[in-house]
Amino acid sequence: MESFRRPRPSLSAFSVLFVLFVNVQLSSAGECPADGRTWVPYGGSCYHFVHGEEDRLKSYSYQRARSLCQGFELVTIQSQEENEFILKYSPEVWKGNTNVWLGMYYDTSSERMRWFGGQDSSYANWERGSDDPSDLVPVETCVALHTSTGKWEKISCVDEVENGVICETSQSESYCDMLVWVMLVWVTVVWVMLVWVMLVWVMVVWVMVVWVMVVWVMVVWVMLVWVTVVWVMLVWVMLVWVMVVWVMVVWVMVVWFMLVWVMLVWVMLVWVMLVWVMLIWVMLVWVMVVWVMLVWVMLVWVMLIKVMVVWVMVVWVMLVWVMLVWVMLI
């Protein structure tokens, strides 16, 4: 059986793709308007710093500043990096401190300052005290950037004039931009497919791992059940065996006690019979002895009587003889 192997993207292919992407990205700086003015590209936007005439005091009202942009809007600052870019590039265009009009206005519907184009001011760099109450009419409130400090100040759009104007527009897409976009889409699709393949592979591995764990758990459970059943059966057999042994022991003890009791009864009976026989024998012997003694006494008494009778007769005969003799002598 062939082992399951997920396809792995070639490292060289990714290297070539990365180099291509970097080269195209570096070569595609975007296109700024070709209207004869100097546009400075930065971060996807183009900036035109209105230079003005040399050695002449520059003074622009808000409306004049917007008109100088000729179809574009005043600069909008969306990040700290963009703010610092304007501060660093301004000395290359203007000498001394410059206050630049920003493309920000007071929105009456939301009652807050917004950038032209409807963008919210997610980044702000107000100078201290900007939120304090002022005499400015809200709808006539504009904003100026001080290049000396980088801070923003709320000023009047009607009464104030500033000496710096910066126009901003987005870089137009070129062929290189389209190529970069296509490459990005292609890389994204490839990346999504790779991620999808990896997710599918992870899911397959996860399912296999879960299945193996389930099978393992079931096997362990079956083994535990089998061991439990065997153990229960062994315990049951041991209990039955113990009960049988106990019953046999009890039965043997009962039998033994019965035998002992029978033996004791038999011994007692035998002993009683022996005693009874001995008593009878003693009685018989005693009776015989008494009878013999009686017979002997009677015999003795008869002999004595005989002897006495004989003696009496002898005495009587002697007396008779003596009397005869005496009579004869007489």
Span 39-68, average pLDDT: 87
| Residue corresponding to tokens 């710096």 | 164
Mean of per-residue pLDDT scores for the chain: 85
pLDDT reading at 19 higher than 50: no
Give me the pLDDT at residue 25, please. Answer: 47
Give me the pLDDT at residue 6, please. Answer: 44
pLDDT tens digits, 70-102: 889 999 999 999 999 999 999 999 888 899 999
Residue with the larger pLDDT of the pair 172 and 23: 172
pLDDT reading at 59 higher than 60: yes
Element (H, E) at 160: none
Domain ranges of the chain: 24-172, 205-330
Query: Using an 8 Å Cβ cutoff, are 93 and 54 in contact?
Result: no
Give me the pLDDT at residue 55, please. Answer: 60
Among the ranges 125-129, 216-220, 287-291, which has the highest mean pLDDT value?
Answer: 216-220
**Cα-to-chain-centroid distance, residue 317:** 150
Give me the pLDDT at residue 228, please. Answer: 93
The least confident of 4-13, 22-31, 127-136, 187-196 is 4-13
SS3 52: coil
Measured between alpha carbons, how far is 285 from 170 in angstroms, rounded to an integer?
Answer: 158
Query: Using an 8 Å Cβ cutoff, are 116 and 107 in contact?
Result: no
pLDDT tens digits, 97-137: 899 999 998 888 888 888 987 777 778 999 988 777 778 88
DSSP calls for 68-112: HTTTSEE----SHHHHHHHHHHGGGT--S--EEE-SEEEETTTTE
The set of residues, in sequence order, having a beta carbon less than 8 Å from that of 140 and lying 6+ positions away, is: 106, 156, 157, 158
Measured between alpha carbons, how far is 39 from 169 in angstroms, rounded to an integer?
Answer: 9
Query: Using an 8 Å Cβ cutoff, are 73 and 104 in contact?
Result: no
Judge residue 104's burial from the number of C-beta atoms within 10 Å of its C-beta, 0-12 exposed, 13-18 middle, 19 or more buried.
buried
Give me the pLDDT at residue 44, please. Answer: 86
Give me the pLDDT at residue 174, please. Answer: 58
The set of residues, in sequence order, having a beta carbon less than 8 Å from that of 78 and lying 6+ positions away, is: 115, 119, 122, 123
pLDDT reading at 4 higher than 80: no
SS3 288: helix
Give me the pLDDT at residue 130, please. Answer: 77
Give me the pLDDT at residue 26, please. Answer: 43
Confidence of residue 16 (pLDDT cuts 50, 70, 90): very low
Q: Which CATH superfamily is domain 24-172 in?
A: Mannose-Binding Protein A, subunit A (3.10.100.10)
Give me the pLDDT at residue 217, please. Answer: 94
Query: Using an 8 Å Cβ cutoff, are 65 and 101 in contact?
Result: yes
Give me the pLDDT at residue 8, please. Answer: 47
pLDDT reading at 186 higher than 50: yes
Give me the pLDDT at residue 212, please. Answer: 95
Give me the pLDDT at residue 176, please. Answer: 61
Q: Kind of pairing, strands 73-74 and 166-170? A: antiparallel
